[in-house]
């Protein structure tokens, strides 16, 4: 066995999700440290895509026997930092052999801010308006239920592209959800007056309705309930500035062993400049 094949001690930074931010809906991400042994082999980078705006590259393979979970970080003695993207367990009959971990190198990583700056005279982000005002105010929780049509399903609102794997929202958090309303950054178009000066802006934001299969919940059934409730809000709670457009897109994808059911809707918001 060569020295490259020998496991080395690395620091596993276990991802722990906390309470949601009041602006973005993202959960606070902290890391707990422990020392494990792992073989890390660099490889040619390969890109991949998952729903709700996330793109990444797999730059190394980590092999270990110690517990590792998607979203964990691996820190080497020489300062290299990787994020665990997915894990494949290798077994021989009933004997566990190792975990093969797809790793993405994080050369520019820094600790995220503890809070989101919100200057009072700044126009509110349309995503914040959607997830903190319009949707929570009008969506009826009693209509978003599990398969028995009685027990309430757990759901929440957030910006797209959270700084942690989306799968953690459904499985590994302390308060998992069965469904999410996820809002992507808007496309902004200036609106001109008769003299060609800009007097307002049209912002079109995509709202993803995302669900998974979980205990007492069929993902497609919950997706239908959450989608119908979104249409209800658009039809009955118009503000004069927002309406649901008629375009819908299926964006369902596989998140490892989990199927993410995802339907994307478009909401238009118009605001005066300033």
Which residue is it, tokens 């497609």?
220
3-105 and 126-272 in the same fold: no
Which residue, 174, 134, 155, 164, is CA-closest to 52?
164
**pTM value > 0.85:** no
Class of domain 126-272: alpha beta
Residue ranges covered by each domain of the chain:
3-105, 126-272
CATH 2.40.10.370 corresponds to the domain 3-105: yes
Residues 6+ away with beta carbon under 8 Å from 10 = 35, 36, 37, 38, 40, 74, 75, 76, 77
Q: What is the pLDDT of residues 132-168, one digit of tens each?
A: 888 999 999 999 999 999 999 999 999 999 988 888 8
Mean pLDDT by 10 residues, the chain (274 residues): 69 91 89 94 62 58 92 93 90 93 88 64 77 91 96 95 88 84 91 87 90 94 95 78 69 78 88 74
In the chain the first and final C-alpha atoms are separated, in Å, by: 66
41-47 long-range CB contacts below 8 Å, 24 or more apart?
41/4
Q: What is the pLDDT of residues 211-247, one digit of tens each?
A: 999 999 999 999 999 999 998 888 887 666 666 566 7
């Amino acid at each position: 066995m060569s020295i490259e094949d020998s496991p080395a001690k690395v620091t596993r930074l276990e991802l722990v999700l906390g309470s949601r931010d009041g602006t973005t809906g993202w959960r606070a991400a902290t890391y707990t440290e422990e020392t494990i042994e792992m073989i890390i082999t660099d490889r040619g980078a390969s890109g991949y895509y998952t729903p709700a705006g996330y793109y990444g590259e797999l730059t190394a393979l980590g092999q270990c026997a110690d517990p590792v979970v998607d979203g964990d970080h691996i820190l080497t003695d020489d300062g290299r930092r990787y994020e665990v993207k997915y894990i494949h367990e290798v077994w021989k009959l009933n004997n566990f052999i190792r975990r093969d971990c797809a790793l993405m190198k994080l050369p520019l990583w820094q600790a995220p801010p503890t809070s989101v700056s919100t200057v009072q005279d700044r126009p509110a982000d349309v995503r914040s308006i959607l997830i903190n005002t319009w949707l929570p105010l009008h969506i009826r929780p009693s209509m978003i239920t599990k398969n028995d049509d009685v027990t309430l399903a757990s759901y929440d609102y957030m910006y797209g592209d959270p700084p942690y794997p989306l799968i953690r929202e459904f499985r590994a958090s302390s308060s998992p959800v069965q469904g999410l309303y996820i809002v992507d950054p808007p496309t902004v178009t200036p609106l001109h007056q008769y003299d060609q000066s800009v007097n307002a802006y049209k912002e079109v934001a995509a709202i993803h309705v995302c669900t998974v299969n979980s205990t007492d919940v069929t993902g497609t059934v919950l997706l239908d309930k959450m989608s119908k409730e979104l249409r209800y809000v658009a039809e009955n709670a118009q503000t004069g500035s927002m309406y649901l457009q008629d375009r819908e897109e299926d964006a369902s994808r596989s998140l490892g062993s989990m199927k993410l059911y995802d339907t994307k809707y478009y909401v238009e918001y118009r605001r005066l400049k300033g």
